[in-house]
Structure 1
Amino acid sequence: MLFERVVSEGIAHLSYIIGDEGKAAVIDPRRDGEVYLDIAARSGCTITHIFETHRNEDYMIGSLALADRCKAEIYHGAAMDFAYGNAVHDGDSFRFGSLSLQVLETPGHTEESISLVVRDTAGGDVPLLVFSGDTVFAGDIARTDFFGVDRKQEMAEKIFDSIMRIFALGDGVIICPAHGAGSVCGGKIADRPFTTVGIEKSTNHLIRMGRQSFVSQRVTESPYKPPYFRTMEHFNRSGAPGVPLPAPRFLTPIELQTLRKCGCQVIDIRAPGGFAAGHIPGSLSIWRNGISSYAGWFLSYENPVVIIDDFNQNTGEIIRQLYRLGYDNVDGILAGGIGSWFKNGGEVGTFRTCTVYGLRERLEREEVFLLDVRDIRNRRDAGFIPGSHHTYLGELPGHLDMIPRDVPVIIYCDAGFKSATAASILAMHQYRDLTTVLGGMAAWERAGFPIGHEK
């Protein structure tokens, strides 16, 4: 028997390959799919089936590209019209040696969401595990807000009932979700690779609150929706383009300067402190571990993307993360890193940083605009620095009218990373007097300074 989980860091995507007696199926493949072919070859299996548990919003599915390489058939739920693949219905079953994969329709996250129940027929008809897609995660439940305000209650009711169908499989059944901790498809997914029906029954607070309370809570929720979701929804329904992983060229500072004049997008993946000390004017600061969460808020799919780093270490992983979000337009990497730009005498932008002690002094002695760019849930749960104004980082470009230009702007977040991204965006819009707070809210709280709470 073959079973392997494939983890895609950043988007916290989990995909799987399972099979027996020379045949294998891949569940929710990522776009760079050579990993599944390698696993299958190593195990002496041929990939014959590809299952999509739902139409994804947060990453570009790799089914078509993988199917083209291994001649497998693609299957997805019947409640949505796809431009490719085959529709499956509740109860449909597929055999892989002694393994059986049975379709369980579990709508709620999307209309056509399915789960796949795995049984080993050689040992009886008892379910072993279920690929739950985006229906239930470890410690969390999937989003149900993709169909507008008018259908929030309907979709919340559907996903609760779908989870009950999964729970009816038995406490010992292993749940294999499509996402882990950090995914934008859940609120607070637990950081464990697998879970079970029994664990979720006893510990998942969203389920334990009961159907009525769960639905009532879901109706009031309004999770953030990055603009790139629309692009993913389109391609994951019509078919993702079969474009290979980009192989960007190394650019000299002079070549980069030419591209900048033509409107390229410069993304600086260095740590916030280095970016504040010196960066290429007009560049977007997104630290390495923030690429999958925030690139889709700010990068377009049209203009070329150029990556800036210190020493160009592991930029290949950044290219892969962008590729999984559908960005085929990564055109270049600055050769020699940011140091080559400095040595060439290129124009340099800077902004200030301060500690929380310095922030407190400035708040006491001068007029400033203190901007909180955290998730609103963090502001509500953990509190905020008194006197601060809130705009979520992803929505900042659309709320510039609330940020004054005639006083210094000081920006804070949870730990000091997102504030640098916010500062880079404000700098693009000609804000000049910018400061970010080192350590953010975590440092303010540790210092024992006053914390405000919403009434």
Structure 2
Amino acid sequence: MTQIVPIDTPSLGDRSYLVSDGSVAFVVDPQRDIDRVIALAEQHGARITDVFETHIHNDYVTGGLALARATGAAYHVNAADPVTFDHTPIHDGQVVQVGSEMRVRAVATPGHTFTHLSYVLETSDRASAVFTGGSLLFGSTGRPDLLGPEHTDELVRAQYASAHRLADLLPDDAEVFPTHGFGSFCSATQSEGERSTIGREKKTNPALTGDEKSYVDALLAGLDVFPAYYAHMGPANTAGPDAVTLVEPKTADPAELRARIDAGEWVVDLRSRTAFAAGHVVGSLNFGLDGSFATYLGWLIPWGTPVSLLGSSAAQVAEAQRELVRIGIDRIESSATGTPEEWSGTAPLGTFPRASFADLADVRHHRTVTVLDVRRELEWVDEHVAGAVHVPLHDLLHRLDEVPPGEVWVHCKSGYRASIAASVLAAAGHHVVAIDDEFDRAGQAGLPMAV
């Protein structure tokens, strides 16, 4: 019996898939840390014979080549993709037999990229599932603007046509298994769905329920910025990423950590925003593992800046290291575990207050403070606190001079991005208060709102 096992990477909003008949298996769009894929195949008693890539990814470094080399599997990449590493070229309409029970049919579905492929799983002479990568997602499609504005119009129309091609080609009960759409910025919009079928998408997906113009206009109007590190993923994947070894970083003492901070390196505190605000190494930055850690670190960091990690435990550091290799940050200069007092040595710790929107409303009755909104542009345009200064988090490092001196109360939608921003501001010497609250409560607290 064929079994499809999703392999979640929630921090990046992606899923890979292991598909097994109990003897052999194939994998679709594997992430860079292939050890978990190999372990999963072993659990299912299956030998990986084939690896399929839906497209040259923009949001993570693929593990496809490394997995194929480690297992001896055939690595199927679109014949039109300009890659130079060893692979098995695959074309639209080509069928690959996997074991005795499974056939995988490639279907050209351009839109997210020009050479995007979806893969239809055929068992018992019927199409039972389709792996859609960044094409047809749950209630959405992959975004068409990652290759540059000069290609967006052509790709968005191709994306519409590709969604219809899949809907026309496959039966309504065929299950849909996308790679993106679970929080990835590769998705045009986000969905709460966990499962879907072609029939369901025909009823709910804007690419299939309306005309092309309505789909194109709505999708393009809703596109927001995407992480800066995406610029490095396509070239890395085209070149053929090597396998990674997750070797534990060397331990740094307080003197080394201070020297690294003073040299302009990034010393990243992985603890929660609550713990960081209560005490941290002065100059360190807070990217908590309890949020979209790799996405925001990769978005903000000047590419190539040396990174050191601070965690409560070795397991926390190892988790962060695993997340970072997925976006091509392979080298961790050093790490330290324990408490901020141990990391800081004899130097005093940095702290800053946390507050709610109700606290902000109260404070504004008594004194003037700067309110800094670090949400993205579309969030700001929708609604914001009247009189706030708007600098999106991803621009903050380059626009610190736009933050007024004095007391700064920084907020986002729910607190995670605000803590990152607060750590950046504190490291730059600002008197900062982190609003750890839901933005929906701002108006309820009596703060004047604007659109």
Q: TM-score by structure 2 length?
A: 0.92
Alignment correspondent of 2:367:
366
Q: What does 1:45-64 correspond to in 2, within 5 Å?
A: 45-64=46-65
Contact 2:93 2:105 in 1 (8 A): yes
* 274 and 76 in structure 1: CA distance in 2 versus 1, 3 angstrom threshold: same
Alignment correspondent of 1:427:
426
* 219 and 3 in structure 1: CA distance in 2 versus 1, 3 angstrom threshold: closer
Deviation at 1:207, TM superposition (A): 3.8
Alignment correspondent of 1:80:
81
Opposite residue 325 of structure 2, the aligned amino acid is Y
Opposite residue 402 of structure 2, the aligned amino acid is M
* 176 and 300 in structure 1: CA distance in 2 versus 1, 3 angstrom threshold: same
Alignment correspondent of 1:295:
297
Q: What is the rounded CA distance, in whole Å, between the counterparts of 2:192 and 2:250 in structure 1?
A: 37
Alignment correspondent of 2:203:
202
Alignment correspondent of 1:32:
33
SS across alignment from 1:425: helix
Could you tell which deviates more after superposition, 417-426 or 346-355? 346-355
SS across alignment from 2:422: helix
Alignment correspondent of 1:403:
403
Deviation at 1:7, TM superposition (A): 1.2
Deviation at 1:13, TM superposition (A): 1.7
Unpaired runs of 5+ in structure 1? none
* 246 and 60 in structure 1: CA distance in 2 versus 1, 3 angstrom threshold: farther
Alignment correspondent of 2:135:
135
Contact 2:298 2:327 in 1 (8 A): yes
Contact 2:12 2:292 in 1 (8 A): no
Contact 1:251 1:335 in 2 (8 A): no
* 1:320 is aligned to 2:322: yes
Alignment correspondent of 2:8:
7
Alignment correspondent of 2:167:
167
Deviation at 1:440, TM superposition (A): 4.5
Q: C-alpha deviations, 1:183-206, integer Å up to 9, x for none?
A: 221244223332111111212245
SS across alignment from 1:36: helix
* 1:335 is aligned to 2:337: yes
Q: What does 1:56-455 correspond to in 2, within 5 Å?
A: 56-84=57-85, 85-96=87-98, 97-120=100-123, 123-124=124-125, 126-168=126-168, 169-288=170-289, 289-300=291-302, 302-311=304-313, 314-342=316-344, 344-381=345-382, 383-405=383-405, 407-428=406-427, 430-447=428-445, 449-450=446-447, 452-454=449-451
* 257 and 206 in structure 1: CA distance in 2 versus 1, 3 angstrom threshold: same
Q: TM-score by structure 1 length?
A: 0.91
Q: What is the rounded CA distance, in whole Å, between the counterparts of 2:84 and 2:448 in structure 1?
A: 52
Q: What is the rounded CA distance, in whole Å, between the counterparts of 1:337 and 1:58 in structure 2?
A: 33
Deviation at 1:68, TM superposition (A): 1.6
Opposite residue 148 of structure 1, the aligned amino acid is G
Deviation at 1:231, TM superposition (A): 1.4
Opposite residue 398 of structure 2, the aligned amino acid is G
Opposite residue 340 of structure 1, the aligned amino acid is E
Q: What is the rounded CA distance, in whole Å, between the counterparts of 2:244 and 2:218 in structure 1?
A: 41
Deviation at 1:424, TM superposition (A): 1.7
Opposite residue 352 of structure 2, the aligned amino acid is F
4+ residue segments displaced more than 6 Å: none
Q: C-alpha deviations, 1:164-187, integer Å up to 9, x for none?
A: 011111211100000242222124
The alignment covers a number of residue pairs equal to: 446
* 42 and 359 in structure 1: CA distance in 2 versus 1, 3 angstrom threshold: closer
Q: What is the rounded CA distance, in whole Å, between the counterparts of 2:135 and 2:195 in structure 1?
A: 14
Contact 1:286 1:295 in 2 (8 A): yes
Q: C-alpha deviations, 1:207-248, integer Å up to 9, x for none?
A: 423211111233445421222111111111111133312322
Q: What is the rounded CA distance, in whole Å, between the counterparts of 1:206 and 1:269 in structure 2?
A: 39
SS across alignment from 2:384: coil
Q: What is the rounded CA distance, in whole Å, between the counterparts of 1:64 and 1:114 in structure 2?
A: 17
Contact 1:265 1:305 in 2 (8 A): yes
Q: What is the rounded CA distance, in whole Å, between the counterparts of 1:11 and 1:266 in structure 2?
A: 22
Percent same amino acid at aligned positions? 28
Q: C-alpha deviations, 1:78-118, integer Å up to 9, x for none?
A: 33311222332110000121211000000000111000011
Q: C-alpha deviations, 1:343-367, integer Å up to 9, x for none?
A: x222422333333233113333433
SS across alignment from 1:249: coil
Opposite residue 109 of structure 1, the aligned amino acid is H
* 432 and 326 in structure 1: CA distance in 2 versus 1, 3 angstrom threshold: same
Deviation at 1:445, TM superposition (A): 4.0
Contact 1:246 1:319 in 2 (8 A): no
Deviation at 1:57, TM superposition (A): 1.0
Q: What is the rounded CA distance, in whole Å, between the counterparts of 1:153 and 1:351 in structure 2?
A: 46
Q: What is the rounded CA distance, in whole Å, between the counterparts of 2:315 and 2:89 in structure 1?
A: 43
